[in-house]
Structure 1
């Protein structure tokens, strides 16, 4: 059975056409706040239920509860603060304001609370470090002094160059039902696929009805693959190597926090809202640098027996020269001398130098897609 939305009900916070028209006609009468691209994406995810049960940005009780207990104040599991920061606000609690991105009114917000917070506490509790070299910590330190909590109504969406592959939770739930899938495993990725990814995905698919590959599109760190490269690579992989009736591909716009274990839980909740019943938790899931242990995220799932989506812990795959195939440590009896690790960093270096990866590392069709781009990496 397709999973129930997190919190029990799929949130939809989109202004009705007549309401939208009226708000936009009166927009000069509203106080306004400018937001960045990441918060605009958060707004879309709130409005379309990707962040169910959130109906808006967190108020202080929920914010503190997430920091301290990894749960909302009503005890619903929630690990990443979805917050809106502003400079000294020119509006008050109780006001309705408009949120703008790049001169586009994105949403109306009903201001429930304006509050301050401790940035070091935020960083330490969410990222387990206060090191400003951590990209998530740096982002927190760059935030404004005040947070604003309250419910939102979406008025406009950002331009979407990948609309063809964008499905909202209400749509994926219909798709899964139409395909007769009762169990669905979701795979989150921000990379082009290599053979290790394919091994993990297909190993998981063995136990369920359908595979939902859900690449993250949006702002990434330097050296990550560009969005269009990821999409094209998966297109060619699906065309040649995936069963059409057992796998589907849809994207989600989301700004990575690189919060390791906490973000792994958040990613699972997002896929639960899309309708997935299972979620593949990777090695060093949502990690960066050496801030988290390789399987630390696996342990954190033990603290959430009420999460409502089943984590699938599939160990890192590698090529074994003795087995003549992709394996993992649980199923391969051979010593390290026969193992070839598939490192994303190593693959990037090979691609940058024009070297074609061996076929046990990456499908040749995927390599050709990457090579077709003048610069496939974020600069």
Structure 2
């Protein structure tokens, strides 16, 4: 796996970035009753101001003090669309006579994303002008004339019957999948949902078998509904994982409480193996070598929709917990939190969204892997996207100029050292590349990976999950045979 980080650095007057010496380098998911231990891993550390020892270079930026929120949120303010508790009763009364739109589970995940400010400065589901800018330019222009990255359309689809029910109303109530009132969408706008154009421009293909398309778009309505969002109560899932779902505001507060002088985020939707940990630990070492005193890792797994063969969220969170318990990552310098966004598997288009959202959460370093947000082509035996295009797009994407790229070597399993290590081309035959698909195959078939690939506690979580899954699949077959 080839990984690289994007950096935004507060630099002393004697230091410029040119002097860095870099090394080249679900629809329905099975239910799994994991027992996740809720442990507080928050530890405060004294803040030491960054002072570079490098001499003879012109200044790039100077800060008189260091805060963990080194990157301002897009638009300057984190959007918070949850109604104050004192006003919730009045909003519920106001919503009673309004036309209602029922949300799917994935719609609700987008409500969560918008309401907490992950998509700042977006304040609701996109109206047509925002949608077209996002779809065609991967960014939107805000009132001050500046551009913010917005590579994925965040929209709400409705059918002809719902459009007719709304009629001329300017506001609508939003109902959750269970029929409860979630919020109000104000000053609405309804416009045509050209699905083929949306799919082609977001994924670069209209080939059948794209997971998000199949589940979310193909059978969606022919209209899109945009407007300003108000959410009655904070979105909760009551799945035992809500304490992991920290909002951008909560994360920034935690970074500041810990007095972090650098925050680096790692986005993932797979279990953490020792190659991931090598890259995260190496990133922290690089930051320390650069003069930072208290870099904090945000281990930030994706928590929304994923394709059916991905490992479910509760299993991944239990596995991440074991990685911390086994000391593969340092609990004192790591925050584990869930990123609530659904997954598109849209490659270089989607990775911009992943980076942009972490800016709003306050992270100023971003680690991203080979073929980020990519997948195999749904109908051909090849990658859907060029594995190197994600990092190249991030280096050029409008609205992400706050970030800079630092490439890493490729990480693979060293069969001589019997551990994950940086790939050495001079002895290429000694290295084994284990993909996420291969890792899942090991666990599913009961075959153990090489020693040193993953911590024992984390691997046991995966094995237990696949054993329980196979038992569930076998039960109906046994019942049928019995009959």
Match of 2:248 in 1: 169
Match of 2:117 in 1: 49
Q: Determine if contact 2:173/2:183 at 8 Å carries over to the other structure.
A: yes
Match of 2:421 in 1: 327
One of 338, 343, 347 as aligned partner of 2:439: 347
One of 18, 28, 39 as aligned partner of 2:96: 28
Distance between the aligned counterparts of 2:167 and 2:128, measured in 1? 15
Q: 1:315 to 1:265 in 2, by over 3 A?
A: farther
Q: Secondary structure at the match of 2:286?
A: coil
Match of 2:40 in 1: none
Match of 1:189 in 2: 268
Match of 1:150 in 2: 227
Distance between the aligned counterparts of 1:310 and 1:375, measured in 2? 43
- 1:1-379 aligned at under 5 Å gives the runs 1=67, 2=69, 3-74=71-142, 75-88=147-160, 89=163, 90-92=165-167, 95-101=170-176, 102-138=178-214, 139-156=216-233, 157-161=235-239, 162-208=241-287, 209-241=295-327, 242-289=329-376, 290-304=383-397, 306-307=399-400, 308-322=402-416, 325-329=419-423, 332-373=424-465, 374-375=467-468
Shift of 1:243: 2.1
How high is the TM-score relative to the length of structure 2? 0.74
Shift of 1:137: 3.3
Shift of 1:315: 4.4
Paired residues, number = 377
**Structure of larger gyration radius:** 2
Q: Determine if contact 2:139/2:398 at 8 Å carries over to the other structure.
A: no
Match of 2:476 in 1: none
Distance between the aligned counterparts of 1:339 and 1:170, measured in 2? 42
Q: 1:93 to 1:46 in 2, by over 3 A?
A: farther
Q: Determine if contact 1:322/1:334 at 8 Å carries over to the other structure.
A: no
Q: Structure 2: state its 5+ residue gaps.
A: 1-66, 288-294, 377-382, 474-483
Moved more, 312-321 or 369-378: 369-378
Q: Secondary structure at the match of 1:126?
A: helix
Provide, for residues 27-69 of structure 1, a one-character-per-residue CA deviation record: whole Å limited to 9, x for no partner: 3311100111111111111111111111001111111111111
Distance between the aligned counterparts of 1:153 and 1:312, measured in 2? 39
Moved more, 193-202 or 300-309: 300-309
How high is the TM-score relative to the length of structure 1? 0.93
Question: Taking CA–CA contacts closer than 8 Å with sequence separation of 6 or more, which of the two structures ends up with the larger relative contact order?
Answer: 2
Q: Determine if contact 2:326/2:455 at 8 Å carries over to the other structure.
A: no
Distance between the aligned counterparts of 2:422 and 2:230, measured in 1? 47
Shift of 1:292: 0.6
Q: 1:158 to 1:248 in 2, by over 3 A?
A: closer
Q: 1:100 to 1:312 in 2, by over 3 A?
A: farther
Shift of 1:284: 1.1
Q: 1:338 to 1:365 in 2, by over 3 A?
A: same
Q: Secondary structure at the match of 1:271?
A: helix
Q: Determine if contact 1:276/1:309 at 8 Å carries over to the other structure.
A: no
Provide, for residues 262-313 of structure 1, a one-character-per-residue CA deviation record: whole Å limited to 9, x for no partner: 1111001111111100111211111121211112111111222641234454
Distance between the aligned counterparts of 1:100 and 1:313, measured in 2? 45
